[in-house]
Amino acid sequence: MITGANSGLGLQIASVLAQRGATVVLACRSEQRAQDAAAAIGEKTGSRTIETLQVDLGSLDSVRTAADVLARRHARIDLLINNAGIATPPFAVSAEGVESQMAVNHLGHFVWTALLLGSLLKAPGSRVVGISSLAYHVAHDIPDDWRGGAANYQPFLAYARSKLAILLFTRALQLRLDRAGASTIAVAAHPGGARTDLIRSPMGGMKPSLAKSLLQFQSAEKGALPALRAALDPQAKGGEFFAPGGPMQLWGLPVRVRMPGRAGSPNLQDKLWRMSEQAANLQFPL
């Protein structure tokens, strides 16, 4: 099950898994784009086990509806790849009043994972894969107010914080899985500098065209490799982090890398977990 699978990294991940015989569900905000992607993957790979599912991660009502549909379709889920994301858009808030990047990149996936946890626990050795970004280096904390405001909105910092949140969630989720004695694991990956459509708005003061020329060093196919290794490496352990092995983790074959120390901070993990449950009005079932 892959969110944001109609383009970029998600499309590449879905294509590889379908080619190797997996039943793949493309969960996308646009049902039409999901269907177009499913048709393209099917034509490329010959797979007949590609499904689509409409979900808008910026709306928790949509997340709840989609999770219910998916749980009724499939009793068990082996891989939950939380890939969808937005980067540096103009200021906006979700239906729940949360700044859009934190809402889509983290909170929607937090609720999505909570609602599908039962299906994951039914599959021995299942995995939750979170997709972060090198931008996490810019973030050193989680904001106290997720609503924010247009006047003090810093798009790239908000993006970086949402990507740090993904690492904090991965580590915090693994701790809870360990305590529960579950065989499900939570791992994370980042693609380095990959050529995708994610950069559509000014990033860190740079125009999108300049950001792409400076930051996108490798193809989406290669950028998908860390996520695929996180999803499929039989030696992977819960809480591990995979990234390109080249200079500054910008390109190269995927390797295990160290999580930033702040991702292991109990205080930041607890803060993120508490704020996520409050924002979603949900108690995580673990």
- Kindly list the catalytic residues: 159
- CA dist 87 and 201 (Å) reads 7
Which residues contact residue 110 at a Cβ distance below 8 angstroms, ignoring those fewer than 6 apart?
Answer: 169, 276, 280, 284
DSSP-based three-state secondary structure for 193: coil
Strand intervals (E) in 100-151: 127-131
Residue 37's identity, in one-letter code, is A
Residues in the chain, how many?
A: 286
- What is the Cβ-side half-sphere exposure of residue 147, based on CA atoms within 13 angstroms? 5
Nearest to 51 by CA among 63, 39, 61: 39
Handedness of CA 175, 97, 190, 183 (dihedral sign): positive
- CA dist 181 and 173 (Å) reads 12
Contact 160, 183 (CB under 8 A): no
81's enclosing H/E stretch is strand 79-82
SS3 of 224-286:
CHHHHHHHHCCCCCCCCEEEECCHHHCCCCEEEECCCHHHHCHHHHHHHHHHHHHHHCCCCCC
